[in-house]
Structure 1
Amino acid sequence: MGKDYYKILGVDKGVDDEALKKAYRKLALKWHPDRHQGDKDKESAEIKFKEISEAFEVLSDKNKRQIYDMYGEEGLKGGAPPPDAGASFAGGFPAGFNFPGGGGTTFTFSSSDGRGFNPSDPNTIFSQFFKGFGDTDDDFTSAFPGGFRGFGSKSKMSSGFGDFGDFGSDIFNRQRGSDGVSEVKHSLPLSLEEIYKGTTKKLKVKRKLIDSASGKVVQTDKVLEITVRPGMKAGSKFRFPNSGDELPNGETQDVVVTLEEKPHPVYTRDGDNLHITLQISLLEALVGFKKTIQTLDGRNLVITNTSVISPGQEQRFAKEGMPTKDPIKKGDLVVKYNVLFPAKLSEAQKSQLQNIL
């Protein structure tokens, strides 16, 4: 009979798909080699982890499970035909059977010689089973409290496991967009002047690809061109499909670039409006003033006021704010006045003010 896959997963022979997934999930997290320290413990965990993956791969597939139930491990790996295959499978069953994984994922195994069952890489099974779990998977987080290092990045599995190199936490810490596509995030910080005028930027990002010939992970650079419309708001996103890392499951991540606004020394933005604080003296607040400020597009804007201004008072200038999608519309400029009072007055000055006021 060889290995008892049911016993390895701790399930009964009539186990259904959901219970099978729960059993694999629990044991795979428990026996993942990255959770075990010391050469001896890690080696034992690798063996156990490989057995768990193999058992799950077989029992999750209807065809392989039927063959295993009838012929055992030897019959399965020796190429015994499926029970309902008849003479057409006399030379062994064909490669390419699929079995369902976590979250509706489909796993595929193949045999190099066209005969029998060769267990898939346990790393691939693990990564595909947990893909899309997100940052809210408490079981996964508690299993790797120090952060998941990634397969093969700091420890080589001695049981013939594949090496995913530097994929590391990219496989598991990646985000997914609302459409379920795996994505890697970057930011594009721009000055308020650049956003005001609009600009085109080139962003070089590093990506990991799997070499088709060697199967190894190679790192390359990709240049993304980002066109920022005048007046775009911080938080605007630019999506570049299939421009990120190529994952072991064959999926290629999207790159999502988020526009960020750098702090400005003079202006602050509120939607389409711009705000500025202008310092004026007590005399200017009482008798009026004329001042010139520089706008974000480099113009000189003259501001005058001849009325009495209270501390904190605001004055609005229409269409001197940020551009909008409509080329003929702009936000407003809101000027807030900060009145600077003198630190002290002489007795003569006080007397003069009393007479005036």
Structure 2
Amino acid sequence: MNRPELDYYAVLDIPRNVTKEQITLAYRRMAVRLCPHRDKKYELDFVPLAQEGRLTHLSPMAETKQWAYINMAYDVLGNELYRAIYDRYGEAGLFEGVMLPNGYFPPYQYHGDHMEVYERVFSSYSPYANVIDAITNPPSLYATREHGVGVRHKDANTERIIHLSLEEVRTGCVKLMHVWRQEIVDARESRLEKRKHTLKLIIQPGTTAGTRYCFKEEGDRYPTTIPGDIIFIAADRPHPTFERRNMHDLVYRYDINLAQAYTGFIFYVNTLDKRQLKIVISDVVTPGYQKIVPLEGLPKCRNLDAVNAIKQANKRIEEFGDLIIEFNYIFPRYLTPQMKKLTREFYQEFRKLEMELEEEERMQMQGT
């Protein structure tokens, strides 16, 4: 290479035979002093290494340069494969790539995101996040005669499936969910009893399957724990007439015979909100044909914040999915010889007329 190789062990001020845990500790010790995002009011707590009498070859450099070097050094030495390549082939092998027994090792390139390395080590933007959180948001404690004093831990959440009919999804509704939970029934928190509790579930029009309704800390009450959440998960109940598709579209299937497929027909669809739609089919219903009726599907549920939800509470929902009508062909189960003869004659005559029409169209095109 055209420049002197950098000694990553010297950058972190550690010997070459250290363990990965010691590499991480060395990086942490230097990172809390050099991180440019540290709180300025705590700068006096982070004495530069030079003032501690621990001079390194990085000490004369600016802190921003030291910060870049220690992150690059840890990115290499903190990875077992990169460290092995660096130990054997040096920085040149690391940057240029080497041929290994099990294949080619491509050139290493540092990504340049110093904070990504920092947060990977500290699992947070701040190395003192856990301490600060404990001060600003102290844990809940319990103190009872039976269990003594300790920290309350939250119970596991309870999840339940709530099946909604498409009619309920179409108009929206209110569900009163009755749950049985353990409750503390005396002041000394020594006696528990199962009691019925009612939760009010507001289903918005157009609610999609998988929507989660969380009631925070509404689970069982125990003296030494924080109640878990009760979560209801919406699911579609099978409908005898319609099927939901693409979240807000409805699919309706209608049976037709071959005569209807050729000549057209009229039928009626009873909607989820008790209306009746007149459907006119004048096209030839070929395999895969669909009739789409716009805005006759389910309402499109909107995720609104509290302010907009109040403002639009009495407004009519104008956005709907579509009604998709699909057709099933009903073939005759049995044909008598006479019926087969008539069918054969019909298709022969049909094909003759079809050829005459094609010939007329061809003549017209030649004339133009």
TM-score (norm 1): 0.49
TM-score (norm 2): 0.48
- Structure 1 or 2, whichever has the larger Rg, is 2
